[in-house]
Structure 1
Amino acid sequence: MSVDSAPAGARIERGAGRDVILELKNLSVSYGNIKAVQNLDLTVHAGEIVTLIGSNGAGKSTTLRTISGLLKPKTGEVIYKGKKINGIPGHDVVKLGICQSPEGRKIFQRMTVSENLDLGAFTRNDTAKIAQDRERVLELFPRLRERINQKAGTMSGGEQQMLAVARALLGDPTLLLLDEPSMGLAPVLVDLIFETIETIRDQGVTVLLVEQNALAALEIADYAYVLESGRLNLEGPAEALLDDDSVAAAYLGG
């Protein structure tokens, strides 16, 4: 149900004047006999930051991997810009404009920062635009410019997270999927990462954010979905969920 206690299945009106960029309809995903996501409905409008929060094992990362084409849904649909993309291989999903910064960063540790960024653009052949986008991410993350020829595995956790996000941006996404970008970071770096996510949105990239740091996620998001044991438990404007007692008790330490 939504945060304002609307009837089951009701939706809060949002995104006036904005196109729907992503829809998940009745999405279910399983690992063998284990049901990871069940009957999930989710909508992302262009220009939004939408966050998906919940405890460990709630199905958040599974949802992102399904959108990215790394997992196939058991039932339901993934619809991007009005077209069903179920079953499309992951590299072709990137070509459509969906790029992901994965949980755990997954950078290539023995390669330099520069080489990792090059791999982010592996599906592209627009050389001039790649150079522009590369400069843009180095402006977003000046520390990466300082370490451009350094082996990625020798950098701090925060720097590696910056690289993971920058690499995803080199894919030229319309929709950026971020999976636990604050995991394991010091508070000052968490603030920097979330400020940068807002900047990315302001530069025209729609963001779907998975986060266990629910407070930080809700503070920058436009809309939020709460997953519990693979099912949608709550949804609503992020600002409203920040003030919801049940969300505060379960996820915000209040």
Structure 2
Amino acid sequence: MTSNNGLVTEPLLDLDDVHVHYGNIAAVQGLSLHVRTGEIVTLIGSNGAGKSTTLRTISGLLRPRRGTITFQGRRLNGVAEHDIVRRGIAHSPEGRRIFPLMTVAENLELGAFARKDKTAIAEDLDNVLELFPRLRERIRQQAGTMSGGEQQMLAVGRALMARPRLLLLDEPSMGLAPVLVELIFDTISRIREQGTTVLLVEQNALAALAVADRAYVLESGALKLHGAAADLAKDNEIVNAYLGG
């Protein structure tokens, strides 16, 4: 892969011919994709297309039956989930999966479980609370008593507390009011500006394409097409076929 200055560079994340099954059912079939440092890349497609399965496989929650996953030049196949976090990948899952009986502060602290750098952890906590001021207001509140939008902010903030090089975001706008959807996508752009690469799964495909650099369209677990996000968003045939246009 060639960079703008003509030098050959390796992608931050690379999936090569990845196959994932649930029992005998193929959920992802021969998927190859890459994410470069500093990008926002989005996976789009209908329900059941394999998008969330792909993120779960990258983060180690599922194991590929075939193919390789490489991050920063090192294979992730067979690496335990907590070690994948230590290598620099954090996952904000579909459905938020916060700990409802714990406070906002305790949830955020759990995001840094793999870290020992207390000073940097405190700095990252301040950064998360700057990104999401509502969390600062509710820092001692039980997480389960917050609104859906606030819980989504907490899920993203908890993942950021791992100080990842790559942030996996699964359906961050699901179930949110339009004003909060706009806030979430603005925050995703700010996260990238702060130096974190993002791989995004999102049902609101047009909103995802608006913030992404590149996109991969999945259909029934297989790669259907890929390209620059701006180009896909302007293609009427693609919008009508895959993006609910």
Mapped to 1, the partners of 2:17 and 2:205 lie a distance apart of 24
Which whole-Å CA distance do the structure 1 matches of 2:24 and 2:197 have between them?
A: 33
Match of 1:107 among 98, 111, 130: 98
Which structure 1 segments of 5+ residues have no match? 1-12
For 1:92, give the aligned amino acid: D
* Partner SS, residue 58 of structure 1: coil
Once the two structures are superposed, the pairs formed by residues 13-162 of structure 1 within 5 Å of their partners are: 16=4, 19-162=10-153
- Shift in Å, 1:14: 7.7
Q: Does 1:242 align with 2:233?
A: yes
Cα distance in 1 for residues equivalent to 2:140 and 2:45: 38
How far apart, in 2, do the equivalents of 1:16 and 1:91 lie? 35
Q: CA deviation at 1:219?
A: 0.3
Which amino acid counterpart does residue 49 of structure 1 have in structure 2?
I
Alpha-carbon displacement from aligned partner over 1:146-185 (angstroms, at most 9, x marks no partner): 0000000000000000000000000010000000000000
Structure 2: tracts of 5 or more residues without a match: none
> 1: CA distance between counterparts of 2:55 and 2:163?
18
Q: Alignment length, in residue pairs?
A: 242
**Pairwise mapping of residues 148-227 of structure 1 onto structure 2 (< 5 A)?**
148-227=139-218
8 Å contact kept, 2:10–2:73:
no
Alpha-carbon distance, 1:19 to partner? 4.7
- Normalising by structure 2, we get a TM-score of 0.96
**Residue 72 of structure 1: SS of its match in structure 2?**
coil
Tell me the distance in 2 between the aligned counterparts of 1:109 and 1:15.
Answer: 44
Moved over 3 A (4+): 13-19
* CA distance in 1: counterparts of 2:237 and 2:166, whole angstroms: 30
Q: What's the counterpart of residue 253 of structure 1?
A: 244
Q: Which residue type is aligned with residue 35 of structure 1? A: A
SS at match of 2:134: helix
How far apart are 1:83 and its partner, in Å?
Answer: 1.0
Deviation at 1:247?
1.9
Counterpart residue identity of residue 175, structure 2:
G
1:15·1:45 contact (CA, 8 Å) conserved in 2?
no
Aligned equivalents of 1:217, 1:157: Cα separation in 2 = 20
Tell me if the contact between 2:45 and 2:243 (Cα under 8 Å) persists in the aligned partners: no
The RMSD of aligned alpha carbons is 1.2
- Note the C-alpha offset of 1:243: 1.2
TM, length-normalised to structure 1: 0.93
Identity percentage of aligned residues:
66
